[in-house]
Amino acid sequence: MRNPIILATVAALLAACATQPQRNEQLDEARSSVQTLSADPLAQQAAAHDLQAARDNLRLADDAQSKHEPQLEVTHLAYLAQRHAEAGQARVEEARARQEVARGEEQRNRVLLEARTREAQQAQSQAQAAQNQAEAAQQQAQSAQQQLQAAQQQMRDLQAKQTNRGMVLTLGDVLFDTNKATLKPGAAQRLDRLAMFLQSNPNEKLIIEGYTDSTGSEEYNQELSQRRAQSVADALASRGVPASRYTVVGRGESFPVATNDTQAGRQQNRRVEVVFSDQSGRFAEGTPESPTGVAR
């Protein structure tokens, strides 16, 4: 006689097996894929249709499984859910790749824009610097022109005259007695003005030329003219003009400006001429700085 307790237990186990759904690997795989797709933040944007189809087919497969419908039907529905999930995942990856490309393009455009902005700023800075240089050069030119005009006016005030040797100041009232190299008192005022001109025009240089009348021998007159030019140089030195600013030359009795036949003419020939350089210290072409090669 069989044990009633054993029989009851066996019957309960058989009933439980009959009610418990059979496991389907295709369904488990589909469920995992759908869950993965659902968790992706791009799914709704890039693959909404495939996501919904995957969910619908997964729900149908779950229903078929719970109702103990044939496993072939459950597997088919799970397969459809799997394929839609995979298609959706592919669309998501494609959208993500497009986003990466877009971000890369945006980054590239930003880098290009920054580079162009820097180039534009650099070009603007260079243009501004060039404009500043041009303005500075213009101001320098204007300043130089003003200095030149001021120097020319000062020379006119000194009564210097334009010649083929440049501006020349004849110290005609700096008269020397016969056979003398000593400056007369009347020279002081003009020498003061000449020294002031040289102090305000530090690049100017001079050739100081001494002349005599024809009284005495040529050799003597040459030596006397040198001493007369030197007396003017010494007077300028005493007023603070350094020796590097001038050259002293004796011209003797050459190049008289008046006749030596009269006392008045000889007095005019006893003179000193001061030849000025330009503002850069250069003399006119052909102007001698030594007693030889005189050009007049």
Ordered per-residue pLDDT tens for the chain, 296 residues: 455 555 554 444 444 444 555 789 999 999 999 999 999 999 999 999 999 999 999 999 999 999 999 999 999 999 999 999 999 999 999 999 999 999 999 999 999 999 998 999 999 889 898 889 888 878 887 776 776 677 667 776 778 888 888 899 998 756 666 677 888 887 888 899 999 999 999 999 999 999 999 988 999 999 999 999 999 999 999 999 999 999 999 999 989 999 999 998 998 898 899 999 988 888 887 666 533 333 34
- Nearest by Cα to 213 from 274, 275, 255, 168: 255
* Strand pairing class (246-250; 206-210): parallel
- Nearest by Cα to 89 from 28, 34, 52: 34
Cβ-count burial of 97 within 10 angstroms (0-12 exposed, 13-18 middle, 19+ buried)? exposed
Q: Reduced to 3 states, what is the DSSP secondary structure of residue 20? A: coil
Contacts of residue 79, defined as CB under 8 A and 6 or more positions apart, other chains included, come to: 26, 30
Task: Read off the tokens for 124.
Answer: 């603007």
Query: CA end-to-end span of the chain, whole Å?
Result: 164
8 Å CB contact between 141 and 135: no
**Cα–Cα distance measured from residue 36 to residue 57, given in angstroms and rounded to the nearest whole number:** 15
* Strand pairing class (166-170; 272-276): antiparallel
The pTM (predicted TM-score) of the whole model is 0.52
8 Å CB contact between 154 and 259: no
According to DSSP H, which parts of the chain are helical?
4-19, 25-39, 43-46, 48-66, 71-157, 187-200, 218-238, 263-269
